[in-house]
Chains A and B, each alone.
Chain A
Amino acid sequence: MENTQHNDPAAKSQDPLGAAEQKNAAKSTHRPGDLPGQKASPAEQHKKPILEIQSLTKKFGDFAAVNGVDLTVYEGEIFALLGSSGCGKSTLLRMLAGFEQPTSGAIFLDGKNIVDLPPYERTINMMFQSYALFPNMTVRQNIAFGLKQEKLPRAVIDERVDKMLKLVHMEQFVDRKPYQLSGGQRQRVALARSLAKEPRLLLLDEPMGALDKKLREQMRLELVDIINSVGVTCLMVTHDQEEAMTMADRIAIMDRGEFVQVGGPREIYENPNCRFSAEFIGSVNLFDCTLLSSNQKESLIHTDDFPNPISLEHDVDLADGMPLTIALRPEKIYISKTPDDSGSSNCCEGDVENIAYLGDISIYYVRLPSGRLVASTLPNVDRFKTGLPIWDDHVYLSWDPDSCIALTI
């Protein structure tokens, strides 16, 4: 990984809200030395693949909702399918659960093709977005429902239900009906119900979709804790990038029924492999550029927006003179009222046109002489702003050479 900045002082703020740090602190599986949001890939850890999807396609008429997707999910992993609505992520999930029949392709669970199995014969359980709790049954009956289908003895069912209730801290609500529970409590019951059957794979469909924002942030970490303590492999679908980055070990970004990029949260954020990925996760400044020269030590890139060529400290696999895109995250652009005197060519100047004050950070929109608007964020460390640029200030922007991401597609 050439571009990761092990000594970057800004590393802490790369993850929105620093949530990934919290997550990994809560996780028992992280290794010392792991960067937040970045773990060794499951294959490197010699984990066993549990779910293998091979060129899975689902067509509705001529429209391919899922188009030839390949995916391997490893034992014990939390995997997130991230995409905007209509990208096919829910269709993919529903095919795994057995509610949709794929047009072609195969789904292997523990090496066995389950494509032709009906949902009630799959050892996969799902937590529905609306929770789908049975309204006529109590919390206990809801959790016991799946176990009853296995015709287990009553004592075993009761014991398992009690265990699940304890796991999700819902012991005192056993005899309530779903309508007597709050949204968060319903989610806990839904989770307990889907975990009660000890599935090989747990599917979460927009797990936080029905909760309000505050509860959402709290439940993310708790859900991960519960899932990890059970040790179940989990595949979730979400449109919320913060949710995916906080909860998942690996993320697949989906667009128009295909995977755009698969990787850990840090990898996806710091090393997007295309413009779509870069724009989808977080915010980014994209510059249309042409490659001037490239060698092992340095690549020089020209853009009409900057007076100097952009310099990268690695080579770009492209012929000279070819177009490419440079992506620059706003938090990696330093903004200052005094010119940068390091002599680096990675700098430019402009005027502050707008400031969005978000409390924890402020986003500065700087108009370059070329007419281009560039976003740059600054953390509001000081309660009383001192010396920060204000509207119409002439400011100098600079960035480290390895903050730039060269995108060829």
Chain B
Amino acid sequence: MPITALNVSSTLARRKLGRFLTKRSRREKIRDIMRHENTWREKLVILVPYLWMLLFFLMPFLIIFKISLSVTEIAIPPYSPLVTFEEGAMQIILHLENYTFILTDEEGTYLRSYLKSIEVASFSTIFCLIIGYPIAWALSKCRPATRNIMFMLLIMPSWTSFVVRIYAWMALLKKDGLINDVLMALGIIDSPIHMLQTDFAVYVGIVYCYLPYMVLPLFTALLKVDYSLIEAAYDLGCRPVKTFFSVLVPQTKSGIIAGSMLVFIPALGEYVIPELLGGKSSILIGRILWQEFFNNRNWPLASAVAIMMLTILAIPIVIFFKVQRKQMEAASA
């Protein structure tokens, strides 16, 4: 035993050793708690989200992925099987044509619509951020009673159907719609502005629908802001605009990222809003998907389009979780 080999001559050394031993045992205790084996009840609770993810995310994903590796056929289902048995031998045929077709399509329809979708989603996110930040700031600053009313005003529109609200925007934006009528009546414009079926209308729709998803995480982040840091920045000679970017933004980074994700991800695959408000020029990836699935009945190609969109989404999601983990580590340290 190494302990008996130690020269424990003085009481002091012995006491130190004793303290060392008790410290170790305490450390071990903590380790035991950390390693704590879950009881079957706890396991059951943890199982639920895993099961959910398995059933409603992983399985459909794998099915779509499988379909994307086949070619279209006139059959039910309308694509070639992945696994075939010919002369008693199992055969797995992976078709990568769909992916190569998307990437090398001469007209570039697919890549263009991907880029257009990313552009629309990015700008919508930025607009939501610019509009949402002051709203979140006001929410975090006002008294709790006022805050509740403001929250109601923010969330109440989403109590009505999404499609109804988009139709309402159509009524507002169209040539003889409310906005044009008012502007004409006021004499600001002579002829109606063409707003419906433009990118502008798409942005209006997306920003309008997704703004609450930006405001809520920003609000939570702003609530936690230590305002003495803002005062400290002022005190050290930092002007308000610079203080905003060098102190407030870093402090609300987690909210900015979370809100941006919550807007960017659904906006990228948005179908209804561009379909109803957008013009023919703005072909987004959502419409491509629809066309391939329902008009061309090319399931494999549509699946490949969907898988590629997921890949595009995966990149910001991975970044988001990395940042979040880093922050958690920093906070726990």
Q: Does B236 contact A (CB under 8 A)?
A: yes
**Of listed A119, A133, A150, residue having the most chain B CB within 10 A:** A119
Chain A interface: which size bin?
A: 20 to 34
CA distance A135 to B248 in the complex (A): 11
* Minimal Cβ-Cβ distance residue in B for A150: B237
Given A134-B247, A136-B250: A145 and B235 interface contact (C-beta under 8 Å): no
Contact with B along A77-104 (1 / 0, CB 8 A): 0000000000000000000011100000
Decide: A134 and B234 in contact? CB cutoff 8 A.
no
Q: Does A180 contact B (CB under 8 A)?
A: yes
Residues of A within 8 A of B235 (CB): 97-98, 119-120, 124-126, 194
CA distance A226 to B189 in the complex (A): 68
Given A179-B330, A179-B333, A180-B333: A134 and B238 interface contact (C-beta under 8 Å): no
Given A132-B226, A179-B330, A179-B333: A149 and B232 interface contact (C-beta under 8 Å): no
* Minimal Cβ-Cβ distance residue in A for B330: A179
Q: Does A186 contact B (CB under 8 A)?
A: no
Q: Does A339 contact B (CB under 8 A)?
A: no
CA distance A22 to B250 in the complex (A): 44
Residues of A within 8 A of B228 (CB): 128, 130, 132
Q: Does A197 contact B (CB under 8 A)?
A: yes
**Of listed B237, B250, B251, B330, residue having the most chain A CB within 10 A:** B237
Given A97-B231, A132-B226, A132-B229: A125 and B236 interface contact (C-beta under 8 Å): yes
CA distance A135 to B251 in the complex (A): 8
Q: Does A39 contact B (CB under 8 A)?
A: no
CA distance A126 to B333 in the complex (A): 28
Given A179-B333, A180-B333: A145 and B236 interface contact (C-beta under 8 Å): yes
Mark out the residues of chain A between 113 and 166 whose CB falls within 8 Å of any chain B CB in the assembled complex: 118-121, 124-126, 128, 130, 132-136, 145-146, 149-150
Q: Does B239 contact A (CB under 8 A)?
A: yes
Residues of A within 8 A of B247 (CB): 134
Q: Does A188 contact B (CB under 8 A)?
A: no
Residues of B within 8 A of A177 (CB): 330
Given A179-B330, A179-B333: A146 and B237 interface contact (C-beta under 8 Å): yes
Q: Does A367 contact B (CB under 8 A)?
A: no
- Select which of B229, B239, B330, B333 is within 8 A of A120 by beta carbon: B239
- B198 to chain A minimum Cβ distance, whole angstroms, is 41
Decide: B237 and A197 in contact? CB cutoff 8 A.
yes
* Minimal Cβ-Cβ distance residue in A for B250: A136
Decide: A134 and B239 in contact? CB cutoff 8 A.
no
Q: Does B209 contact A (CB under 8 A)?
A: no
- B248 to chain A minimum Cβ distance, whole angstroms, is 11
CA distance A132 to B240 in the complex (A): 17
Q: Does B102 contact A (CB under 8 A)?
A: no
Given A132-B229, A179-B333: A118 and B237 interface contact (C-beta under 8 Å): no
Decide: B238 and A132 in contact? CB cutoff 8 A.
no
Residues of B within 8 A of A120 (CB): 234-240
Q: Does B233 contact A (CB under 8 A)?
A: yes
Decide: A132 and B232 in contact? CB cutoff 8 A.
yes
CA distance A120 to B232 in the complex (A): 9
Contact with A along B221-258 (1 / 0, CB 8 A): 00000101101111111111010000100110000000
Residues of A within 8 A of B239 (CB): 120, 149
* Minimal Cβ-Cβ distance residue in A for B243: A120
CA distance A134 to B235 in the complex (A): 13
List, sorted by A's number, 11 A–B pairs whose CB atoms are closer than 8 Å: A99-B231, A120-B237, A121-B237, A124-B235, A125-B236, A126-B231, A134-B250, A149-B238, A149-B239, A150-B237, A194-B236
Q: 19 extra interchain contacts, Cβ-Cβ under 8 A, other than A128-B231, A149-B242, A194-B236? A: A97-B235, A98-B234, A98-B235, A120-B237, A121-B237, A125-B235, A126-B231, A126-B232, A126-B235, A132-B226, A132-B228, A132-B232, A133-B232, A135-B251, A145-B233, A149-B236, A180-B333, A194-B235, A197-B236
Residues of B at the A interface (CB closer than 8 Å) are 226, 228-229, 231-240, 242, 247, 250-251, 330, 333
Smallest CB-CB A-B distances: 5 pairs: A146-B236, A132-B232, A149-B237, A119-B234, A132-B228
Residues of A at the B interface (CB closer than 8 Å) are 97-99, 118-121, 124-126, 128, 130, 132-136, 145-146, 149-150, 177, 179-180, 193-194, 197
